[in-house]
Amino acid sequence: MLTSSLVTLALALPFTIAQNLSVPSTWRDPSTSISRSDRVSIARNCINTLTAVLDTDTGSFSGLGYWQDANVLSAMANLDYFTKSTTNRHAVTDSLNAAFGLYTDYDQYGYNDDAMWWATAAYYGYRAYDDPNLLNHAIATWQHVSNYVITASDASSGTQPNKDFPIEGSCDGETTVGGVFWRPSSSDTSVNSITTGLYIALSAYLASTTKNSTYTDAAILSANFIKTTNMNSEDLVLDTIDAQDCTRSSSSWLFTYNSGKYIEGLSVLAFVTGDHSWTSLMLDVVAAATKAPAWEGSDGIITEGADVTEDNDGIGFKAVFIRGLAEAWSRNSGNTALRALIRSYTNVQYNALLDLASNSSSSSTWYSPAWEGPGPTSFIVWGQLAAVDVLVSAVSVNS
């Protein structure tokens, strides 16, 4: 018969194995001695190169895509939030207000994930500046995208009121309830993890702010969808499912931002609900995603989105990943192993940017989207986009 201590050990063992939060010895330079004030200056200098190409009348940065614009604004708001400052307030709020005025519910091109990137940026802005107008933008956009979530009733009936095709209530024996359609178009059949992950995170943030259980319930349903239906056996989040026939994107479609946004959403959801199962799942995903051969080598440096010749969506994925890890770090102060892993992983990327992928002019520093280097010979706006969340997160996770 097992003693009580052995029973405890036996119960804990599977989670210990699954959640390997150790820092690999092969990672390149996982610490920094740069002072907080200097880290803040480095992040602000990068932001300054981006605000130099910002049009606050539209919220757009010259050379970037619409969803990428929102992610730069997110990093700007988060740096102010971390440093308790308002340095970027006017640029952020003017841009977010302008875009909301130009595009109904932030939807410029007919993509729910675009709308949610902007709504999440609005929430970060609200969090940083206590601006209720930005909170209202986030809520309005959440309500819009909620029209494209598969409900239990939809799954049961095989129909979705805003789609003109029959849907599957389950795929491979797992429910489609909680999945969020990528596009509002009545004919688009794709349910993907980034739109669903964005919805989870924003729902959880709104639940934490408003204490409204509607948001909590929504976050739980969508978090369960990814957990049961759209993760692989290695705890990495998959990409897309066709709601009409259950066909899937290739299993090799593994992108940092899918796992990163899910980590962020789970971290906030665990905080809101007090349900430790969400924390346990988050730890599984962090342990897997920070050591995924799909997007990094043994040195730990992320290799995804490294195109120096032209901007593409993949350039911005890894920034979202690092931002999600920073949120997990901030919400789990009691888990020293998790925080050490996230700090080390962030510093690996930080030091790669500073040592391998940067080039300084007389007035600013430019970053390459290829974090293993070499540094760029001129300003690459999407290189700055990819770098900015790492520079901002390094301020937070090393404090």
Per residue in 339-394, pLDDT tens? 999 999 999 999 999 999 999 977 899 999 999 999 999 999 999 999 999 999 99
Last residue of one domain, picked from the residues 244, 271, 294:
294
Tell me if 184 is assigned to some domain. Answer: yes
- Claim to verify: residue 158 and residue 286 sit in the same structural domain: yes
Which residue type does 128 have? A
Other C-beta atoms within 10 Å of 71: how many?
26
Residue 220: give its domain's CATH number: 1.50.10.20
Tell me if 9 is assigned to some domain. Answer: no
| Domain count within the chain | 3
| Alpha-carbon gap, residue 29 to 27, rounded angstroms | 6
- Claim to verify: residue 319 and residue 272 sit in the same structural domain: no
- Claim to verify: residue 277 and residue 159 sit in the same structural domain: yes
Mean pLDDT lowest for which of 202-216, 267-281, 361-375? 361-375
3-state helix, strand, coil in the chain (%, to 5): 55, 5, 35
Q: Which band of pLDDT confidence, cut at 50, 70 and 90, is reported for residue 4?
A: very low
Q: Which band of pLDDT confidence, cut at 50, 70 and 90, is reported for residue 280?
A: very high
Q: In this structure, are residues 369 and 352 in contact, taking their beta carbons and an 8 Å threshold?
A: no
Q: Is the pLDDT of residue 269 over 80?
A: yes
Q: Which band of pLDDT confidence, cut at 50, 70 and 90, is reported for residue 18?
A: low
- Claim to verify: residue 204 and residue 230 sit in the same structural domain: yes
235-251 pLDDT tens trace:
999 999 999 999 999 99
Instruction: Kindly state the average pLDDT of the residues 58-77.
Output: 98
Res 361: pLDDT: 79
- Claim to verify: residue 136 and residue 202 sit in the same structural domain: no
- Claim to verify: residue 393 and residue 311 sit in the same structural domain: yes
Q: Is the pLDDT of residue 17 over 70?
A: no
Instruction: Kindly state the average pLDDT of the residues 268-289.
Output: 98
Res 6: pLDDT: 32
Rg (CA), the chain: 20
- Claim to verify: residue 143 and residue 192 sit in the same structural domain: no
Tell me if 13 is assigned to some domain. Answer: no
Q: Is the pLDDT of residue 205 over 60?
A: yes
Last residue of one domain, picked from the residues 109, 132, 148:
148
Tell me if 126 is assigned to some domain. Answer: yes
- Claim to verify: residue 155 and residue 185 sit in the same structural domain: yes
Tell me if 12 is assigned to some domain. Answer: no
Instruction: State the chain's mean pLDDT as an integer.
Output: 95
Q: Which two tokens stand for residue 341?
A: 């892993």
Give the residue carrying structure tokens 């970027």: 88
Instruction: Kindly state the average pLDDT of the residues 26-42.
Output: 98
Res 15: pLDDT: 39
Q: Which two tokens stand for residue 49?
A: 């190169």
Res 133: pLDDT: 98
Res 103: pLDDT: 98
122-136 pLDDT tens trace:
999 999 999 999 999
- Claim to verify: residue 286 and residue 326 sit in the same structural domain: no
Tell me if 1 is assigned to some domain. Answer: no
Res 7: pLDDT: 32
Res 75: pLDDT: 98
SS3 (DSSP) at 128:
helix
- Claim to verify: residue 237 and residue 315 sit in the same structural domain: no
Q: In this structure, are residues 208 and 272 in contact, taking their beta carbons and an 8 Å threshold?
A: yes
Other C-beta atoms within 10 Å of 232: how many?
11
| Alpha-carbon gap, residue 305 to 311, rounded angstroms | 9
Domain ranges, residue 93: 53-148
- Claim to verify: residue 142 and residue 154 sit in the same structural domain: no
Last residue of one domain, picked from the residues 294, 326, 345:
294
Res 81: pLDDT: 98
Res 362: pLDDT: 72
Tell me if 383 is assigned to some domain. Answer: yes
Tell me if 46 is assigned to some domain. Answer: no
73-93 pLDDT tens trace:
999 999 999 999 999 999 999
Q: Is the pLDDT of residue 14 over 80?
A: no
Q: Which band of pLDDT confidence, cut at 50, 70 and 90, is reported for residue 151?
A: very high
- Claim to verify: residue 284 and residue 154 sit in the same structural domain: yes
Above pLDDT 90, what percent of the chain? 94
Q: Is the pLDDT of residue 259 over 70?
A: yes
Other C-beta atoms within 10 Å of 133: how many?
14
Res 19: pLDDT: 82
Which residue type does 200 have? I
| Alpha-carbon gap, residue 279 to 300, rounded angstroms | 24
Q: Is the pLDDT of residue 43 over 60?
A: yes
